[in-house]
Amino acid sequence: MKILIISPSSDPGKRTPHEHMIPQLAMHILEGLTPSRHQVKTVEEEIEDVDLDEECDLVGISCMTANAPRAYYLSQEFRRRGKKVVLGGVHPTILPDEAIQFADSVVIGEAEGIWEELLSDFESGNLKKNYYHPNIPLDRYIPLKFRESTKKRLFNVVPVMSTRGCPYNCEFCCVSDLFGKQIRHVPVPNVVHNIQDSCGRIFIFLDDNIVGSPPYAKELFKAIKPLKIRWVGQSSISFVQDDELMKLAAESGCVGLFFGLESVSIEQLKSMRKSIKDIGQLEDAIRKVKDFGIHFHASIIFGFDNDTPAIFPETLEFLERNKIGSASINILTPYPGTKIYEKFKSEGRLLTMNWKYYDNNTVVFNPKKMTPYELQAGAIWTKNEFSKMSSILHRLPGNISHPSLYLALNFGVRKSNKTDPQRLKNIVTNIFDNISSVNEL
């Protein structure tokens, strides 16, 4: 049997700058789970085109919310050509009743423990509408083959994952709905095995919080230290409260970490489930991370109900004052399945249900203390100012530990800024016709 596995892009006419492309893992896990008697081809649409006339028996498509419309289109086209299609990923997991309208079957949640059963059912002509097994153990070793896909990205970075699940339930996040509230671990020997088998040198841990379980993280860091790799990942700011953990991370090859700061507003920090709620303590934490030679990448979200137009210059001043290495400047996105989505929906504040705009960069709701246009324009202004050459040069002395990473990430932001004028246009002409600030243009 020939199986085609696809990770669709949000817009096939636009390619993400390779500095910002996050390596895909789900499609490679599916390939690793597939019995060897089957032929598997993986296609990542951000890198190569999808051939709708590809010779295959079964098509598997994994998608998130922003690329769900594209996934649905591809699914319909393959089905029109007589192919059976299975949808999976974050969005179909949260909205399986929606997804099944465009596919023959939907995988809800994780594929381990499901995929082989699904393939067997397909072969016997008994494909079910839904497949779901919650909290699947992660102790099984799955061989991963990345082929040429990693060579299309900055530094040939290879994806790996060591934990799933999150005990928190942030109102703008659906990770716990997807992976559960309990942190589950891949056995450390299996992680080491994956790293060795990949023959890579630079890795990205796709864990939502690589230090969510400090004892496990310490065991992992000790185990990968002899491999002499370099890696980046995502961490909570509580990382700085354990010096041994920070030292082990640095010694194991950690060169950069993504921290979800979300906001530098004191009022907003106090309302969030963060271990650090004081700006002074936050600045000390940033310095401490840098002192260990780890690049600090901050994730900022604009659009919380406490935010006013003053949040934009306030945030820019904070980022530049602390010489933040790089930053993702995001707009609050009420993804389906999150508390914030239900809140905005009940309050009548959602501006569109077109999922392609749910991309962390486009305003899709009515903010409380500013107009949608002010929020969109303010986020764009902050990103542009932060990625100016003068700002990059100003922050460089505070980020000299990994200059190549620093420059690549910041110039990647400059590239991505080219799509921002279209986002402002979208607010006025494409999706919103109830915005009071239209006359301001």
pLDDT tens sequence across 218-266? 999 999 999 999 999 999 998 999 999 999 999 999 999 999 888 887 6
Listed range (75-79, 154-158, 331-335) with the worst mean pLDDT: 154-158
- Range 240-247, long-range pairs (CB < 8 A, 24+ positions): 240/284, 240/285, 240/288, 240/289, 241/275, 242/211, 242/214, 244/218, 245/211, 245/214, 245/217, 245/218, 245/221, 246/288, 246/289, 246/292, 246/294, 247/292
Quickly state the pLDDT bin for 274 (edges 50, 70, 90). low
pLDDT at residue number 147: 59
d(CA 39, CA 131): 22
CATH, domain 2-132, list 1.10.150, 3.30.450, 3.40.50, 1.10.10: 3.40.50
Q: What is the DSSP letter of 426?
A: I
Helix, coil or strand: residue 96: helix
d(CA 293, CA 20): 22
Query: CATH 3.80.30.20 in the chain, residues?
Result: 149-430
- pLDDT surpassing 70 at residue 103: yes
Percent of the chain with pLDDT over 90: 71
Q: What is the mean pLDDT of residues 181-189?
A: 89
Query: Which residue spans within 263-352 are E strands per DSSP?
Result: 295-302, 326-331
- pLDDT surpassing 60 at residue 149: no
Quickly state the pLDDT bin for 435 (edges 50, 70, 90). very low
Quickly state the pLDDT bin for 438 (edges 50, 70, 90). very low
Instruction: Please give the class, per CATH, of domain 149-430.
Output: alpha beta
77: exposed, middle or buried (C-beta count within 10 Å: 0-12, 13-18, 19+)? middle
Quickly state the pLDDT bin for 160 (edges 50, 70, 90). very high
pLDDT at residue number 159: 92
Nearest alpha-carbon partner for 372 in 348, 345, 349:
349
pLDDT at residue number 439: 33
Q: How many CB atoms lie within 10 A of CB 58?
A: 23
- pLDDT surpassing 70 at residue 395: yes
pLDDT at residue number 243: 95
- pLDDT surpassing 90 at residue 383: yes
Q: How many CB atoms lie within 10 A of CB 227?
A: 14
Quickly state the pLDDT bin for 423 (edges 50, 70, 90). low
d(CA 354, CA 426): 12
- pLDDT surpassing 90 at residue 379: yes
pLDDT at residue number 16: 67
pLDDT at residue number 31: 93
Q: What is the mean pLDDT of residues 347-376?
A: 94
pLDDT at residue number 268: 65
Round the average pLDDT of the chain to a whole number and report it. 88
**DSSP assignment of 218-287, as one string?**
HHHHHHHGGGT-EEEEEE-GGGGG-HHHHHHHHHTTEEEEEEEEE---HHHHHHS--S---HHHHHHHHH
Contacts (Cβ under 8 Å, ≥6 apart) of 404: none
- pLDDT surpassing 90 at residue 21: no
Q: What is the mean pLDDT of residues 118-125?
A: 97
The edge-to-edge listing of strands for the beta sheet with 158-160 is: 158-160, 202-205, 230-235, 254-262, 295-302, 326-331
Q: What is the mean pLDDT of residues 351-379?
A: 94
pLDDT at residue number 173: 73
Q: What pTM does this model have?
A: 0.90
Cα–chain center distance at 354: 19
Percent of the chain with pLDDT over 70: 86
pLDDT at residue number 279: 85
Angle between helices 26-33 and 115-123 (to 10 degrees): 60
Q: Which has more pLDDT, 279 or 51?
A: 51
pLDDT at residue number 182: 79
Query: CATH 3.40.50 in the chain, residues?
Result: 2-132
Listed range (137-151, 175-189, 347-361, 392-406) with the worst mean pLDDT: 137-151
pLDDT at residue number 441: 28
Cβ 222 vs Cβ 214: under 8 Å: no
Cβ 195 vs Cβ 224: under 8 Å: yes
Q: Which amino acid is at 336?
A: P
Q: What is the mean pLDDT of residues 370-375?
A: 94
